[in-house]
Structure 1
């Protein structure tokens, strides 16, 4: 399973390094969103809890802008059937998931780093913040990868992608907001470990569901 999945991961990296379309688009979108929120909404004067959730809303819309292309480009470039010939569905899903995870991890680090600087916030608990970044990227990558495959050959992909993604991502955003509040504002409490366990569990469930269901999505 590992070798074909790694080949697909390398292919995605090579395409992105050659075009840099998604990376440049998402970084520009994220930077503009951060500046807009800071200067228009005066977000630096908000209460601590809204501050903790606002960064994930920015990341969510940035991810939904770029991650839809994961399988859509296969349909547009007529390489859908070629992938079927060279790899099993589970291998394709893992390869695409690995690429989306790395891509979103870079986006999360960039966004949260500049968000903390612009909002003049202090990191109270570094391990919890790193956990939020890592598992947030994993959870978001699992949802967007699976949803992108579902709508790749549909009409009006953008609208369908948003409709399918948002209900799956809302629980993740709520958990990430709580974990981020712990990392940046409150510090570790007994409830904080429950939130972290819920975040890890969400990622495990979504990745497992993706591997199990992707066979049906890919063949149909």
Structure 2
């Protein structure tokens, strides 16, 4: 049993390292994703201008920027395998589970790096105070996991489709909408309620949805990948 788990971790690490080296070697996709995120944040900032906005609107705008950035980041994770014609080779050398886990880890890391840039910029651009930073960070972290889980399985589903861009957004939005809605509610609490509990019902809901979404995606990936 221990040998089996060690082998799984080793395969996941090898595949994850492959994606990481491949992505950071070219840097084209990463630069485009970061640029898209900055442009989205700038567009949101200019659309608001100097008008006073409520904490709920701020929370909604933050999560709109996060979700749009995630959609731009996740769509190419399996597409590059199809374009390089390495998908069939990948099927021969690795089982579906380590493939999914490695892609999910890569998407989680990529979105985490994006959020490390986006969230401080968002707070600085709109010049407001976060009254419960631990709650905001925890909700964003759980949202990161949920977005990566849903984005990874949808990216695998549409990898061979002809109109991948439109399909990815259409199929991802219903899956990621619960993460966005609960994340907005948690962010609003973090913006307004100093000393609020670290684990309100929103955090419990995000954690539960993450578990369900990750488990379901992992189970379905075997059928999608070998189809």
TM-score by length of 2: 0.92
Query: Of 1, 5, 24, which residue of structure 1 is paired with 2:12?
Result: 5
Query: Of 118, 141, 151, which residue of structure 2 is paired with 1:111?
Result: 118
Counterparts of residues 1-80 of structure 1 (less than 5 Å):
1-42=8-49, 45-80=52-87
Q: 1:38, 1:118 within 8 Å by CA — same for their partners in 2?
A: yes
Q: 2:104, 2:148 within 8 Å by CA — same for their partners in 1?
A: yes
More helix by share: 1
Cα drift, residue 109 of structure 1: 1.8
- C-alpha distance in 2, partners of 1:198/1:172? 9
Q: 1:182, 1:188 within 8 Å by CA — same for their partners in 2?
A: no
Q: Which residue of 2 aligns with 1:98?
A: 105
Cα drift, residue 15 of structure 1: 1.1
What stretches of structure 1 of length at least 5 have no aligned partner?
A: none
Residue 102 and residue 68 in structure 1: after superposition, are their counterparts in 2 closer, same or farther (change >3 A)? Answer: same
Q: Which residue of 2 aligns with 1:204?
A: 211
Cα drift, residue 131 of structure 1: 0.6
- 4+ residue stretches of structure 1 with deviation over 4 A? 188-192
* CA root-mean-square deviation: 1.6
Q: Which residue of 1 aligns with 2:135?
A: 128
Which segment is superposed worse, 126-135 or 184-193?
184-193
Matched length: 220
Q: Which residue of 1 aligns with 2:178?
A: 171
| Mapped pair 1:218 → 2:225 | yes
Q: 1:37, 1:43 within 8 Å by CA — same for their partners in 2?
A: no
Q: 1:100, 1:145 within 8 Å by CA — same for their partners in 2?
A: yes
Q: Which residue of 2 aligns with 1:194?
A: 201
> What CA deviation, in whole Å up to 9, does each residue of 1:103-151 have, x standing for no partner?
0011112111100011111121121111122111111100110000000
Residue 36 and residue 88 in structure 1: after superposition, are their counterparts in 2 closer, same or farther (change >3 A)? Answer: same
Q: 2:132, 2:196 within 8 Å by CA — same for their partners in 1?
A: no
TM-score by length of 1: 0.95
Residue 118 and residue 216 in structure 1: after superposition, are their counterparts in 2 closer, same or farther (change >3 A)? Answer: same
